[in-house]
Structure 1
Amino acid sequence: MNDLSSSVVQSDACVSGDEHQQRENLFTLLKQALKARGFTYARLAAEMNMSELSIKRLFKEKDCKMSRLLEICSIIGISIDELIQMQQRFSQIPEFLPESVEAALAKDKKLFLILILLVSQVDIPTVGSLMEMDQARLYLHLRELEKLGIIELRSGSGFRFLVSLPIRWRMGGKLAGLIKGINKRYIAHCLDHEKDPEYAFTTASRLMSKSSVLQIQNNLHRIREEFDYLSSQDQMFYKVEELQLHKLVFGMGPFPLDVILAED
């Protein structure tokens, strides 16, 4: 068991406020995993040779004995490390990559997109399929990410990140032009598919007070948090073939007509 697991899952009765919240989050995710996999408390109890009442008490009291958690995870088909890493991602603050790394990524759009897919928890075989790359070409790009110190390749199609997640991009840095171009093309794509039920697009301009603007912006931040939260759950609890890559883009701020009217 790695250090992450041992630091989060403890059997002591007394825990700090942060540890209590970690347990709350961990068992919330575990209950969601059970539901996604079609497990009731009664079914889980039968698999564990326990009474349904005991299982309900376990989840109510959030009994964090490692042996029990390992058994539950094994039964429903996920690893304890995956569960804990998912829980940890929710509280992490995005960090920048070194500017030299951003500069290297800016020179190769395909390399940047492969990194975006990996950060989005897309597995390597699916990345190859989405990018329409054969195994040899994809491996060369993955080796470039490894040389940049972003990932470490493992046997088979495995890898691990060597940088903290999530990643924050410098909007005024070397990647700015590439990021702007990607988002412009995506917004144009959404406009072209505005009547398609799989897409949602809206735009508006109004005179507003600072307090109303702040309220809307706070709501947009909450939508982003929900997007991250729900996508993380889906990537853990659904099969890859049941998921489709989606992108979320929104912007709100003063409407500078001189900028809008300027020629490209």
Structure 2
Amino acid sequence: MAQTSSLLISLKKSLKAHGYTYADVGKHIGLTQASIKRLFSEENISLQRLDQICQMMDLEISDLVHLMAEQQAQLQQLSVEQEQELSDDLGLLLIALCVLNKWTMDEIIDHYKLESHYCILKLARLDKLKIIELLPGNRIKLLVAANFGWRENGPIQAFFQRTIGQEFFNSRFNQDEESLLVLNGMLASTSNSEFQRKLKRIAQEFEVLNHEDSSLPLSQRFGVTVVLAIRSWRYGLSQHLFKPN
């Protein structure tokens, strides 16, 4: 499944680079745009259809696999020590999050009203951490893979759980760009595992959309944070209502 996801991410990036849309793909292989979107979201593309889509771009499937391998060679995860350095320096972490979302140095400076020298120092540190390459003219080249992520239970995840959780949920979630779903039920282990797989698939789709929108001007994008979680838990209120004798 992980290889399939990576291959489809590479396919989507190639289609975008060639200027093709889902509608173009559908027209080429005789399916509706909605059907193409469903094939990608469900990661259910046959080799025959994959070959047809590659032919649109004058590519062989082997070319796509090679592209995927090149992308996977990029940084997928930081070490615990590197993440700790970011979480210990809020300015560095803020700028790291910006560059991971394809902000330019000018956009970072303008939005947060930072001094150029300060921003350059932080970018130089990210360069040493191999997250970016700081190019002439202070241009930023990302060195991370498309599926880059923070370490599970690592310093960055712990930092957000410790400092951001209360602020994040201090909202009525009633704006157009907000949504809060609270589900409660009784699932078998197999159903729980299936639901977790679906959550991970949604997370992958979010990363694809984030990548696709990264080329848009900053004025057309806004920060979004998604929390996906599932655990075995009964409402904490029960601990107070039903105390053991």
1:203 aligned residue: 182
2:119 aligned residue: 138
Q: Is the 8 A contact 1:106 1:178 kept in 2?
A: yes
Shift in CA distance, 26/200, structure 1 to aligned 2, threshold 3 Å: closer
Shift of 1:22: 9.4
Structure 1 residue matching 2:126: 3-state secondary structure: helix
Question: Which of 58, 66, 69 is equivalent to 1:63?
Answer: 58
Deviation digits for residues 34-55 of structure 1 (CA, Å, limit 9, x no counterpart): 559xxxx9xxxxxxxxxxxxxx
Return the index of the structure with the highest Cα Rg: 1
- Please state if 1:253 is matched with 2:231: yes
Distance in 2, Cα, partners of 1:193 & 1:185: 13
Shift in CA distance, 93/157, structure 1 to aligned 2, threshold 3 Å: closer
Question: Which of 143, 154, 169 is equivalent to 1:173?
Answer: 154
Structure 2 residue matching 1:208: 3-state secondary structure: coil
- Please state if 1:239 is matched with 2:217: yes
Q: Is the 8 A contact 1:96 1:169 kept in 2?
A: yes
1:194 aligned residue: 173
Q: Is the 8 A contact 1:25 1:87 kept in 2?
A: no
Distance in 2, Cα, partners of 1:260 & 1:134: 51
Distance in 2, Cα, partners of 1:111 & 1:160: 17
Structure 2 residue matching 1:145: 3-state secondary structure: helix
Q: Map residues 95-174 of structure 1 onto 2, 5 A cutoff.
A: 95-162=76-143, 164=145, 166-174=147-155
Q: Would you say how many aligned residue pairs link Structure 1 and Structure 2? A: 201
Shift in CA distance, 197/157, structure 1 to aligned 2, threshold 3 Å: same
Identity across matched positions, percent: 17
Shift of 1:151: 2.5
Structural RMSD (CA)? 4.0
Shift in CA distance, 187/58, structure 1 to aligned 2, threshold 3 Å: closer
Query: Which amino acid counterpart does residue 168 of structure 1 have in structure 2?
Result: G
Shift in CA distance, 101/165, structure 1 to aligned 2, threshold 3 Å: farther
Structure 2 residue matching 1:152: 3-state secondary structure: strand
- Give the TM-score normalised by structure 2: 0.64
Distance in 2, Cα, partners of 1:249 & 1:164: 21
Shift in CA distance, 173/233, structure 1 to aligned 2, threshold 3 Å: closer
Q: Map residues 86-97 of structure 1 onto 2, 5 A cutoff.
A: 95-97=76-78
Distance in 1, Cα, partners of 2:116 & 2:158: 29
Shift in CA distance, 232/253, structure 1 to aligned 2, threshold 3 Å: same
Distance in 1, Cα, partners of 2:213 & 2:84: 32
Structure 1 residue matching 2:15: 3-state secondary structure: helix
Query: Which amino acid counterpart does residue 28 of structure 1 have in structure 2?
Result: L
Q: Is the 8 A contact 2:10 2:68 kept in 1?
A: no
1:29 aligned residue: 16
Distance in 1, Cα, partners of 2:89 & 2:81: 13
Q: Is the 8 A contact 1:145 1:151 kept in 2?
A: yes
Q: Is the 8 A contact 1:23 1:62 kept in 2?
A: no
Distance in 2, Cα, partners of 1:259 & 1:162: 46
Structure 2 residue matching 1:168: 3-state secondary structure: coil
Query: Which amino acid counterpart does residue 29 of structure 1 have in structure 2?
Result: K
